[in-house]
Structure 1
């Protein structure tokens, strides 16, 4: 993939095709939009549409709206969004999705496995040992956060590997380093560590075919649900949430991890990251981008040093 434009005013990913699996909201939506902004044709999938609401229960966030945002962002760069309702736990639907991409585009250059949708199965703060947690809810979490990724990769990677240079991104919460600390909820811990291992394993297989696999994590993500459900704020007023939890000061908008993805997707030397577990803060330092407010938060560094390490420092020291 080239990091420069096409020479005709289009973006660096013009002519390239991406699939963002799980693009209804949060990081997935932002990543789809950013790929469109740099010129990609982006297929966006999810279960919530204008006619159907998934078990997550957030009717105002739909894949149709995501596709429209992608097209709007990509207007000058040549990017376009295409919404395809897909339940990634249903292999037949994923297979049909990939066949459609193959028929319409004949290629797939970037696959982003961002499917999650398990927050409603968690209680905050996490509490109680595994045997006191809801078993059905925990197993559902693993299906949503792990099985969906495996199903999607099984069907999409044959198309991705048709050409060298393809990029697989496993989106998760935490890095291999930060997740050495137990995430305090066994099912959540498993669901968020599995994509890291998936990326590590697939890196061996994709690397042999000239492609790249990485795991990518935001820091403390200000998703729509985090803002309005947990802190009762908006993106414009998010700093009011610091009164509820001082550590919220290190949080970042979805734009930050989206810019991290775009940096990877437009890096002609992206193969140097093959198999690695990456995060938005680390990639910001590497590629020089910032969050939407111009800051450069290092959430996982702050959490390790201040939250768990006892260092006396403010979040501003890590922004």
Structure 2
């Protein structure tokens, strides 16, 4: 498995099971969910939001090839799904949250938790802002940082 904390390293030193967990489960789950949701999204001219990461200048995300491929793969998936869904009035995009203080991360880091980080509510506030935006289609196919949306829409995160 790849339970937290997982350490990065040269690709040949990483457990090959991480491929399955991150690509076959992580990326595939986004595609399968979108596949099942597409008829409803088309009927309602809805919004499809996935979690990705896109920074063409970034080094390997977390120093972990499988994690990097999964995150950037979802960002490419958002672009592809936006292409297919746009003619039907559906906006598909990926959100890129910052370092998020999930229960799993908090448990994994314990007393070594780095300062800062985003609450689990912060990405939810971004989704709420996107849903309220009549011009949300301008984000179609993009991977947008939650922090950038907070600035654009004027919402904040919860205090620590």
2:57 and 2:127 mapped to 1: Cα distance? 21
Pairing partner for 2:69 from 166, 190, 196: 190
CA, structure 1 residues 291+196, in 2 after alignment: closer, same or farther (shift >3 Å)? Answer: same
Q: Deviations over 1:1-49 (max 9, x none)?
A: xxxxxxxxxxxxxxxxxxxxxxxxxxxxxxxxxxxxxxxxxxxxxxxxx
Q: Does 1:177 align with 2:58?
A: no
The 1:144–1:121 alpha-carbon spacing in structure 2 relative to 1, beyond 3 Å, is: farther
Match of 1:272 among 122, 130, 138: 138
2:2 is aligned with 1:123 = no
Q: Is the 8 A contact 1:167 1:212 kept in 2?
A: yes
Moved more, 153-162 or 191-200: 153-162
Per the alignment, residue 292 of structure 1 pairs with 158
Task: Give the C-alpha shift of residue 122 in structure 1.
Answer: 5.7
How many aligned positions are there?
A: 159
Secondary structure class of the residue paired with 2:107: helix
Residue 168 of structure 1 pairs with residue 48 of structure 2:
yes
Give, in angstroms, the shift of residue 140 of structure 1. Answer: 2.7
Work out the CA distance in 2 between the residues paired with 1:210 and 1:203: 10
Structure 2 length normalisation: TM-score? Answer: 0.89
Residues of 2 paired with 1:218 and 1:270: CA distance? 18
Partner of residue 312, structure 1: none
Provide structure 2 residue ranges, at least 5 long, that are not aligned to the other structure: none
1:281 aligned to 141, 147, 150, which one?
Answer: 147
- Deviation of 1:195 (Å): 0.9
Q: Alpha-carbon deviation of 1:249?
A: 2.7
Gaps of 5+ in 1: 1-117, 233-243, 296-319
Deviation at 1:137, TM superposition (A): 3.1
| Residue 287 of structure 1: how far off its partner (Å) | 0.4
Give the Cα–Cα distance (whole angstroms) in 1 for the partners of residues 18 and 5 of structure 2. Answer: 8
Cα 1:251–1:199 change in 2 (3 A) is same
Alignment of 1:247-258 (within 5 A): 248-258=114-124
The equivalent of 1:65 in structure 2 is: none
- 2:36 paired residue number: 155
Residue 264 of structure 1, CA deviation: 0.5
Tell me how far apart the structure 2 counterparts of residues 249 and 159 of structure 1 sit (CA, whole Å): 41
Query: 1:53-83 deviations in whole A, cap 9, x for unaligned?
Result: xxxxxxxxxxxxxxxxxxxxxxxxxxxxxxx
Q: Would the aligned equivalents of 1:221 and 1:253 in 2 still touch at CA under 8 Å?
A: yes
Q: Which has the higher contact order (CA 8 A, sep 6+)?
A: 2
CA contact (8 A) 2:4 2:105 kept: no
Q: Which structure has more helix as a fraction of its residues?
A: 2
Mapping of residues 301-316 of structure 1, within 5 Å: none
Aligned CA-pair RMSD: 2.1
The 3-state SS of whatever aligns with 1:249 is: coil
- Tell me if structure 2 keeps the 8 A contact 1:121–1:138: no
Between Structure 1 and Structure 2, whose CA radius of gyration is higher? 1
